[in-house]
Amino acid sequence: MLTLTKENFEQEVLQSDRPVLVDFWAPWCVYCRRIAPVLDRMDGQSDVVIAKINIDEQPELAERFGVEVIPTFYLFQNGAHGDKLIAPGSQAQLEDWIAAQRG
């Protein structure tokens, strides 16, 4: 799983040749900790790169993407993202959203 910062975001996400699922989270967020095992299971299972941004350490990125509630997910493809997903209830919901984002 990739840890994103403002220093590596451009290279790892915007310039990636693979889709990147970005999880905006914080260590104090109970729901973020609850969904973390789902991300661990999904990591490496497809061509989608799983990446995390700790909003406490990277507030500029959270602000840049309008993150107000966590966890918030964006799927980046070819340097752009579609609709965000906030606090999915299950792995199935997250996977369905990714499939819909990919078209």
Domain chopping of the chain, boundaries: 2-102
Is 41 part of the annotated catalytic residue set?
Answer: no
pTM: 0.96
Is 2 part of the annotated catalytic residue set?
Answer: no
Res 103 pLDDT > 90: no
Catalytic residue from among 4, 21, 22, 29: 29
Task: List C-alpha distances in Å: 85 to 7, 67, 82, 88.
Answer: 24, 11, 10, 7
Mean pLDDT of 2-9: 98
Kindly report, residue by residue over 19-36, the tens digit of the pLDDT.
Answer: 999 999 999 999 999 999
* C-beta neighbour count of 56 within 10 angstroms: 12
Burial class (CB in 10 A: 0-12, 13-18, 19+), 66: exposed
What CATH number was assigned to the domain covering residues 2-102? 3.40.30.10
